[in-house]
Chain A
Amino acid sequence: MEQIVANGLYLGAQYALIALGLTLIFALMNVLNFAHGQMYVLGGFVTYEIYGLLHWPFVVALIASALTLAVLGALIERFLFRTVIRRSEREESTMLLAAGVAYFFDAAILLLFGEKQRGVRKIVMGVFSWDNLILPWDRIVVACLAALFIVAFILMMQFTKPGRAMRALAQDRVAAQLMGVPVEFYSLLGFALGAMLAGLAGGLLVTITGVNSGIGGPISIKAFMMVMIGGAGVVGGAIAGGFILGMLESVGLSVLHAYGDITYLVIFAALLVFLAIRPNGLMGKPWG
C-alpha cells in the first residue's frame, strides 16, 4: 500500500510538471499545444546527449534542456503562432498549426536521434528502504526536483512582475493591454516558459524511464487528461490533475492487474463520467 502511494506521488510530481507547461500556454494564448509531448521528448534527448554521451554534470544537461526548449518555444510563438492568430478568421486554426508543429518535431527528433530507446546512467545510486517501502534514491531526487520546480513556478507567478502580468493576461487579454501590459512580450515569455517546463520534465525523466522518439503523442494525451481533470488554464488544476492521474495510474496498475491491460480504459471511462458531471474539471472556469 505504501509502495503504491509512493509510486503515485512520484508519478504525480512528474505529470504535474508536464501539465503546468501545457496549461500555461493554454491560459495565455488559448492554444492547445499538441506538440507538448514532443517538446518533452526533445528535452529528454538534449539531456541524453549532454549527460549520457558527453558525460557532463547532470545539472548542466538539465539547464541545457530547459534553455533549448525555452528558445524553441519563443521562436515558435514569435514566427508561427503569432502570425496565424493574426491572420486567421477562426481561432481553431492554431490547433492545426500545433498539430503541424507536433508532426514536424516528431520527424525532426526521429532524424536527429533515431528510433532507439535511449537511457542514461543513474544520477544517484542506491535504494531507499523503510519498513516495506522500497524506492530507488534517484526517483526520490527526481520527484523532489520536480516539486521544487513546481514551487518555484508558483512563487514566480504569484510574486514577480512577469508572473503578475501573465496572470492578468490569462484573466483578460484586452483589459491587460489597456492597463499597459505589453501582451505580445508576455505571450512570448509564457510560451517559452511552458516549453521550458516540458523540456525540464523530459530532462528529469530521461534518467529514470529513458526516452524514445515515439512517446511524444502518448505524453501529450496524458497531459491533456491531467489538464481536463484539473480544469484548463488553471495552475492549481494542472498540479491537482497531475497528482490525481499519477495516483490513479499507480493504484490502477496494481488493483486491475488481474484483469489484464485495462487500467487506462477504466481511467478514460471514469474521466468521461467525471466530465459529464463537472464539465470544467475541478477548478476550471466555465468556457466561453
Chain B
Amino acid sequence: MTIARVAAAAAFVLLVLVAIPLAIAAAHRTDLYYTLSSVALLSIASGGVWLTFYIGRINIGQGAYALIGGYVSAVLVTTYGWSFWLSLPIAGLFCALASVVVGLPILRLRGVYFAMVTLVLTEVARLMALALAVTKGAKGITSIPAPGAISLFGLTLLPAFDTFAERNLAFYMLSTVMMILCFAALYRLVNSRLGQLFAALRQNEELASSMGLNVPALRVLAYAISSFFGGIGGAIFVAIAQSIYPSSFTVNDSVNFMLNCFLGGLGYVFGPMLGTLVLYFGWDLLFQTGEYQLLIYSGVLILLILMLPNGLFSLRLPSRRGSQ
C-alpha cells in the first residue's frame, strides 16, 4: 500500500465521518442522514454482490440475504429480547451459513443459469417470509426497538441510540463505519492471496482446478462472504426502519444491487459504493419529475451503459481509487 493510497483512504474516512456530518448540520438538512445511511447499507450489500462477480458469477439474489439477515435480527431482538449488537453478527453468520447450504449445489451452475437461480432465490425468500409463522406473514415485524447501549464491565462504551439527540446521526455513523469496515475488508481480501485465487476462478475454473485449487470450496467461501455482507446490510437497515415486511427486499432490490456494481465498474473494488451513491441520488433527484421519474432514470441508465459499458470508474479519473 503506497503512501498516496493511505492518504486517500484517510481523506475518505475523514470526509465521511467528519466533513459530511458537519456540512449536514450546518445546512440543517438532517433528512440527509437517513438517505446517506441507506446508501451506505445498500453499498455494503452491493459490495457482496461485487465479490460474487469477482469469482465470475452473476448474483441477482442478494435481496434474499438482506431479507434473511433483517428477519434474523428482527426476530432475535423482538421475540427473544436479544441486544441488537449481538443479533447483528448472528444475522450475518446465519446468512453465510444459509448461503453455504444453498451455494453448494447452485454454485455448480454458471453464467445465465446461476443468474436466473439467484433471481428465483429472492422470490423464495419473500414467499418464505410470507408463509412462515416466525416472520408473522404479510403483517411483518414492526416497532423493533432501537439499538441499546454497549457496556463492558459496567463501563458504557456506546450509549443507547434512543438517548441521542439526533438519532439518525447515530444510525449514519453506524452505517458508514460498517461500510468503511466492509470495504476495507473487501479491499484487503481482493489484494491478498485469496483474492488472487478468486480472480483465477473468474478467468478459468477448469485451469484453476487443474492447478490444484479446491474450486468448490473457494467459490462457496466467496459466496458466503458475499451473503454475510448482505445479511449485515439488511440487519442494520431493519434497525433503522424499525420494521420489516416480506416486501422489504424484493427482486427489484436484487437487480438494483447488481446494477450498482455494474455502474461503478466490475473491475474496481470501490465501484459498488460509487454506483450505489449515483443510482440512489439520481433516483431521488428525479423525484420532482413525478410520473416521468422511472422513464428518465431508465433512459439515463441506458445511455450510461451505452457510453460507459465498463462502469463509471473506467473514466480513469486522476484520483482513481481501485485495484487491479
Would B111 and A264 count as touching, CB distance under 8 A?
Answer: no
Interface stretch, picked from B19-27, B75-83, B112-120, B159-167, is B112-120
- State whether the Cβ of A156 lies closer than 8 Å to any Cβ in chain B: no
Would B259 and A99 count as touching, CB distance under 8 A?
Answer: yes
B271 to chain A, nearest CB (A): 12
Q: What residues of A have a CB within 8 angstroms of the CB of B115 in the complex? A: 32, 95
Would A104 and B58 count as touching, CB distance under 8 A?
Answer: no
Identify which of B112, B293, B309 contacts A87 (C-beta below 8 A).
Answer: B309
Q: What residues of A have a CB within 8 angstroms of the CB of B105 in the complex? A: 272, 275-276
Q: What residues of A have a CB within 8 angstroms of the CB of B116 in the complex? A: 32, 224-225, 227-228, 232
A200-242 contacts to B (CB < 8 Å): 217, 221, 224-225, 227-228, 232
Cα A279 to Cα B107 in complex, Å, equals: 10
B212-231 contacts to A (CB < 8 Å): none
Cα A154 to Cα B96 in complex, Å, equals: 45
B37 to chain A, nearest CB (A): 25
Q: What residues of B have a CB within 8 angstroms of the CB of A100 in the complex? A: 259, 298, 301-302, 305
Would B310 and A89 count as touching, CB distance under 8 A?
Answer: yes
Identify which of B111, B266, B293 contacts A288 (C-beta below 8 A).
Answer: B111
Q: What residues of A have a CB within 8 angstroms of the CB of B258 in the complex? A: 95-96, 99
B224-261 contacts to A (CB < 8 Å): 251-252, 255, 258-259
- State whether the Cβ of A269 lies closer than 8 Å to any Cβ in chain B: yes
Interface size class of A (residues with CB under 8 A): 35 or more
Q: What residues of A have a CB within 8 angstroms of the CB of B294 in the complex? A: 103, 106-107, 110
With A261-B130, A268-B127, A288-B111 known to touch, is A92 a contact of B53 (CB < 8 Å)? yes
With A90-B266, A224-B119, A265-B131 known to touch, is A83 a contact of B306 (CB < 8 Å)? yes
- State whether the Cβ of B31 lies closer than 8 Å to any Cβ in chain A: no
With A99-B258, A107-B295 known to touch, is A232 a contact of B112 (CB < 8 Å)? yes
Would A80 and B306 count as touching, CB distance under 8 A?
Answer: yes
Q: What residues of A have a CB within 8 angstroms of the CB of B280 in the complex? A: none
Per-position binary interface string of chain A over residues 72-90, scored 1 when its CB falls under 8 Å from any chain B CB and 0 otherwise: 0000000010011001111
- State whether the Cβ of A93 lies closer than 8 Å to any Cβ in chain B: yes
- State whether the Cβ of B15 lies closer than 8 Å to any Cβ in chain A: no
Identify which of A97, A107, A262, A281 contacts B305 (C-beta below 8 A).
Answer: A97
Q: What residues of A have a CB within 8 angstroms of the CB of B124 in the complex? A: 265, 268-269, 272
Q: What residues of B have a CB within 8 angstroms of the CB of A260 in the complex? A: 131
B323 to chain A, nearest CB (A): 16
Would B113 and A280 count as touching, CB distance under 8 A?
Answer: yes
Per-position binary interface string of chain B over residues 125-147, scored 1 when its CB falls under 8 Å from any chain A CB and 0 otherwise: 00110110000000000000000
B130 to chain A, nearest CB (A): 7
- State whether the Cβ of B106 lies closer than 8 Å to any Cβ in chain A: yes
Would A84 and B306 count as touching, CB distance under 8 A?
Answer: yes
A151 to chain B, nearest CB (A): 27
Cα A189 to Cα B39 in complex, Å, equals: 41
Cα A100 to Cα B121 in complex, Å, equals: 21
Would B109 and A279 count as touching, CB distance under 8 A?
Answer: yes
Would B113 and A97 count as touching, CB distance under 8 A?
Answer: no
Q: What residues of B have a CB within 8 angstroms of the CB of A53 in the complex? A: none
Q: What residues of A have a CB within 8 angstroms of the CB of B259 in the complex? A: 96, 99-100
B254-311 contacts to A (CB < 8 Å): 255, 258-259, 262-263, 266-267, 291-295, 297-299, 301-302, 305-306, 309-310
With A217-B251, A265-B127 known to touch, is A93 a contact of B111 (CB < 8 Å)? no
Q: What residues of B have a CB within 8 angstroms of the CB of A279 in the complex? A: 108-109, 113
Would B298 and A103 count as touching, CB distance under 8 A?
Answer: yes
Q: What residues of A have a CB within 8 angstroms of the CB of B128 in the complex? A: 265
Would A96 and B262 count as touching, CB distance under 8 A?
Answer: yes
- State whether the Cβ of A183 lies closer than 8 Å to any Cβ in chain B: no
Would A287 and B310 count as touching, CB distance under 8 A?
Answer: no
A104 to chain B, nearest CB (A): 4
- State whether the Cβ of A26 lies closer than 8 Å to any Cβ in chain B: yes
Would B131 and A26 count as touching, CB distance under 8 A?
Answer: no
Identify which of B109, B121, B130, B291 contacts A287 (C-beta below 8 A).
Answer: B109
Would B110 and A287 count as touching, CB distance under 8 A?
Answer: yes
Cα A53 to Cα B160 in complex, Å, equals: 61
Q: What residues of A have a CB within 8 angstroms of the CB of B309 in the complex? A: 84, 87-89, 93
- State whether the Cβ of A120 lies closer than 8 Å to any Cβ in chain B: no
Cα A96 to Cα B263 in complex, Å, equals: 8
A125 to chain B, nearest CB (A): 37
Would A228 and B301 count as touching, CB distance under 8 A?
Answer: no
- State whether the Cβ of A108 lies closer than 8 Å to any Cβ in chain B: yes
Would B117 and A228 count as touching, CB distance under 8 A?
Answer: yes
Cα A35 to Cα B58 in complex, Å, equals: 17
Cα A269 to Cα B121 in complex, Å, equals: 9
Would A275 and B109 count as touching, CB distance under 8 A?
Answer: yes
Q: What residues of B have a CB within 8 angstroms of the CB of A123 in the complex? A: none
- State whether the Cβ of A251 lies closer than 8 Å to any Cβ in chain B: no
Q: What residues of A have a CB within 8 angstroms of the CB of B302 in the complex? A: 80, 97, 100-101, 104
5 A-B pairs with CB atoms under 8 Å apart are A84-B309, A96-B258, A104-B302, A262-B131, A288-B205
Extra contacts, 8 of them, besides A26-B112, A268-B120 (Cβ < 8 A), are A32-B112, A32-B115, A93-B305, A93-B310, A96-B262, A262-B127, A268-B127, A272-B102
